[in-house]
Structures are given as structure tokens and as C-alpha cells.
Structure 1
Amino acid sequence: MTVVFLNGRFINEDEAMISPFDRGFTFGEGVYEVCISVAGKIIDLEEHLARLDRSLNAAGITLPPERSLMPGLMHDLLERNGIKNGFIYIQVTPGKTVRNFIASPTERSTLLMSTGPTPLEESNAYKHGMRVQVIPDIRWGRRDIKTTMLMPQVMAKRAALDTGFDDVIFYDDLGITEGSSSNVFMVKNEGELVTRPVSHQILSGCTRNTVIELTEQNGMTVTERPITRDDLLQAKEIFLTSSTYLVVPVVELEIEGKSKAYSCEETKKIQNIYMEYLNK
């Protein structure tokens, strides 16, 4: 039986109950984080919790009372479920109120944490790459907040799967934003890495930031600037980063009916650099 942490208690998942009037349910009001554990070590833990704090502050959601205890609680949750290599999902919502747009909670915020296994570098996407469609970004203007309101991503990903693709990359008026749950990098022919700079339009990915740091330490040049759709078609390689994807090569891209296949030699090198970081 899977054990979760909910509002101060470790309980079996089938015993976990949240009010039907929780604003995460009635208004989709909530933020989340996903971390991975490698051999029991939670990767980039401080960075994930700092981003959780930023998202909560931006959304006006009160910190859960267990906030200062969360690192220890997360390790305890892994141990209770016998997870060494896996994920930890954290979700915080404002708690329950009457169903009114501006009602303020009078009780604690809701904190849910769960965990489970994940294939990490054994996933098919990590080993063999992904086929990806490039589509317009219809999401809201504060994509830097890691909100639980994920319907546009879910709809886009399902549509891509229905047409034989694995995922999507979004674009707006400035160019490529990000994947449905990942940041986007391209490798230029001369080996330079390019990714969109952090702003309200993209999430500051923890894996993204670590990959930038690691590749620069290994002598690679990383430029943060907007990426156009034409840039992607001219790129040598494209890869996606996230806590659960790690570093995944894009092997085929479709943009407005145009299709291109990509090699992944440089991406494989970056995968190796990142795996060394995870296993150190």
C-alpha cells in the first residue's frame, strides 16, 4: 500500500481525504513540484523548494505549516515506500473556502506529497529520443509559476499522441517557449547551446539550470536568447530537460507540416555529463 503525506500525517493513499471545497478542486488554485531521488538522494532539493516558495508567494498561497520540515519529511516518505530511485510529487493548495472567487481560507493550506518509482535513464525517451510537434502556446502569461492548472498541456500532449508523436513544443510571438513539461535547448552546428532566457513566459527549470551550469563547466558555450521556429529547423540537435525526462533528445520535429530528423551525438554527451552529476 502506497503511503502519502497529507496535512501533517503519513497515511495510506486510500485513507487520504481532501475537502470537496478545497480551492485546488473548485478553482484549480495550486502549485506543485516534482523532484527525483537517485539512490535515496533527492536531486536539486534546495532549488525545488526555493521554486515552490516563489510559486506560492506569486500565487498568494500561504506556506504549509510543515514547510521547514519538508526535506526530512520527503526522505521519510521515500523510506516508508521503499523508494530509492523515483519521484516525489508535492502539491500545495490554499485549502477550503466557500465557492467564491475572492474568499480567503481560514484554515491551513493543503499539503500533499506522494512518491513512486520512475525509470530515469532506462526510459524509452531517454534511450531513443522523442518525436515532437511544434504548436502555438495557448497557456496563460505566468508560466514561471508552477501551477497545477495543466489542462492546455494535457490537451496538447494527448493530441500529439493521437497523431503518432510523443510530446509538443510550444511557441509564442517571441519564439519557442518550452515543452509540455520541459525546457527546450537547441545545439547549433558549431556546438553552441541555445535556450530561451527565464521570464514570466517560461518556467525556470531546475534541470535546465543545472544543465547550463554543467555544460559551461565542461567548456561548452550556452546562450540564452529567443529561439524561432526557423532556428529549430536549422539546428543540429534539439533536446528537452526536466526532472523526470532528465535530458531527452528530439529525433524528429514537425512544424506546420514541415518535418526534420535530428542526430543526438552532442545530446548523448550532455546526458553522460548529467548522469555523472546525478550519481556523484
Structure 2
Amino acid sequence: MFVYMNGQIIKQDEVRISPFDHGFLYGLGVFETFRLYNGHPFLLDDHLERLNKSLETLMIERAFTRDEIMEIVISLSNANELKDAYIRLNVSAGNGEIGLQTDVYKKPNVIMFQKPLQPPKEMQEKEGVWLETKRNTPELSERLKSHHYLNNIAAKREIGNDLRKEGIFFTSEGFIAEGIVSNVFWIKGGTLYTPTIETGILNGVTRQLVMALAKKNGWRMEEGYYKKEQLLEAEEAFFTNSIQEIVPIVCINSRVFPGRKGKHAKNLYEDYSLHREELWSRNQL
């Protein structure tokens, strides 16, 4: 496979990053993952909006436009001969002296990875698992999609490598937060519920799209602070992220949910699927 790095398309085993990169030394870096459907980068504008905001927050002097990223995506996809793919766009602070830096980072390292990923023929399903590991609080005022992943790794180790399972974090106060690599939703009485970003969760791009789809379709929507009993009383529940899309929950412990048979998740997924090859942003709905 080929990788893009700082203006060049090179073989993945030729990628070199200095140990003086502050992304390596201090975790100063952010990334976005998105999917390419038949050559279209789904919700790219929304991903870049979040990425550019995060870079500004981290004082990394770099911003990306759709045109710039599309040029990279096309070049990399041609090199790898892919039309359907997983893409990770990674921006680290760049090289600096050993020690904490307060100045702006002016020469970040930009890398784009890609691997083949075909559109699913139907929704995946997963078992939800309550985590003992608590969701840590964001390092800043809101959670960034940053290189700081130890909390997620600890949670993943807790549930193991079973791809049919997703862990569900609680905050230290006992409120439902999010999945290890996902946001969580549930439906009861015609209302779609999801934890507020004030719980310290990542405001996922797919999370925002699902909320926009719910609004477009006239659903009631509520964000708030919820205990696990409220989720367990739901009619349906599902996870969301940009790679796995909408993933219905089949059970949490002994509580069984309808999974992909649930009509609300099915309707959302069908609506979602219609837009894969056309939407640049949820704002187009």
C-alpha cells in the first residue's frame, strides 16, 4: 500500500517520522477517519471542519480545504487502485526541541493512510458491554479526536478483541458517555436519545449526521445526562461511527434488543445509505 506524507505518495514501509515530532513526544496531534464510497469521501466537509478547529485549538498552524484533500485522496486512491476505502488523515505537531512548547507549531507532519473497505451489504450488530473503566475527562474544554488514546485502549483491553462487542463508558458520576470508538443512541416512545457532549464525549461526525437525519424525518430528539437504567428501558439502541456506520445493539448483558430487526434503526440506516456517494456535509440535508 501507498501512503501520502507531506506532499509525496510513498510506499508505507518507507514512511519515516522523527522522534522529535511532538506528536510522538507529547501526543500533540489529531486525526480524522472517513470512508470513500465509489470515490466519494463521505461527509468530508464535516470532518475537515472538526479537524481545522482542533488544529487551531492545539496551536498547529495548518488548515485544510476540500480541494486540497480531494487532490490527495485522488492521487492516493489511484496509487492504491481503490474506490472504496477507509481513510485516516493524521496531523501531528511536527518536530521541536525536547521540552514543552508554548509557541505555535508551523511545520506539522501530514499523513494520509488508506486501506480497502467495501460498503456493507447490511447493518452490523454488536453486543454492548458496560465498562468498569471510566471515561476520562477531556484535556481541554471539549474532547478532540487526538492522539491521546490510553483510556480507549484500557477499555478495549477490558472487553478483548471480539469484534462483535463494543464497550460503553460511564462518566465518573455514573452517566452514560459513549462507546470505545463510537457514540451511542437509543429510542423510546418515538424519541431518540443520546448523551450530551457536556458529558465529555467526542462529538462524532456520524453522531451529528444521525441527529440531522432524525430532525429531517420529524423525530423528537433529546440530549442529556442518562443513567444505564434509562438505556435498558429503550425499545432499540445503536452505536455510530464513521467507519462502522450505524450498528444496532443486540443485547447488553441479559437485556435483549431487536438489533438490525429494529424498525427505527433500519429506517435510519436506509436513509444513511442513500447519501453515501453524495453528501459532503450534514448541512446539505
Matches within 5 A, 1:12-161: 12-63=11-62, 69-102=68-101, 104=103, 108-122=107-121, 126-127=123-124, 129-135=125-131, 136-141=133-138, 142=140, 144-161=143-160
Residue 82 of structure 1 and its aligned partner are, at CA, apart by: 1.4
Match of 2:281 in 1: none
Shift of 1:73: 1.4
- TM superposition score normalised by structure 2: 0.87
Task: Specify the alignment match of 1:183 in structure 2.
Answer: 183
**Cα separation, partners in 2 of 1:214 and 1:246, compared to 1, 3 Å:** same
Q: Structure 1 CA distance, aligned partners of 2:65 and 2:44?
A: 16
- The Cα offsets for residues 45-83 of structure 1, whole Å up to 9 and x where unpaired, read as 111001001111122222168997223212322222111
Q: Please say if residues 133 and 160 of structure 1, whose CA atoms lie closer than 8 Å, have aligned partners that are also in contact.
A: yes
- The 3-state SS of whatever aligns with 2:160 is helix
Equivalent AA in structure 2 for residue 278 of structure 1: R
**Aligned partner of 1:12: which letter?**
K
Partner secondary structure for residue 55 of structure 1? helix
Amino acid at match of 2:134: D
RMSD, matched Cα: 2.4
Residue 265 (structure 2) aligns with: 267
Q: Structure 1, residues 184-238: CA drift from partner, whole Å, max 9, x if none?
A: 10111x1211112334712121111111111222232222222221111111111
Aligned to 1:206: 205
Residue 73 of structure 1: SS of its match in structure 2? helix
Moved more, 154-163 or 14-23: 154-163
| Alpha-carbon displacement from aligned partner over 1:225-274 (angstroms, at most 9, x marks no partner) | 222211111111110111011000111113xxxx3111131212211111
TM-score (norm. length: structure 1): 0.88
* 2:283 equivalent in structure 1: none
Structure 2 segments unaligned to the other structure (5+ residues): 279-285
Match of 2:276 in 1: 278
1:34: how far off? 0.4
- Alignment: residue pair count: 271
Question: Relative to structure 2, which stretch is displaced further, 195-204 or 39-48?
Answer: 195-204
Which structure is richer in relative contact order (CA contacts within 8 A, separation 6 or more)? Answer: 2
Q: Deviations over 1:149-186 (max 9, x none)?
A: 11211221122126896121111126211111111101
Query: Aligned in 2, Cα 1:65/1:87: closer, same or farther, shift over 3 Å?
Result: closer
Query: How far apart are the structure 2 equivalents of 1:167 and 1:27?
Result: 28
Q: Is the 8 A contact 2:184 2:194 kept in 1?
A: yes
Q: How does 1:162-177 map to 2 (within 5 A)?
A: 166-172=165-171, 173=173, 175-177=175-177
Task: From the superposition, tell whether residues 165 and 244 of structure 1 become closer, same or farther in structure 2 (CA, over 3 Å).
Answer: closer
Q: Secondary structure at the match of 1:278?
A: coil
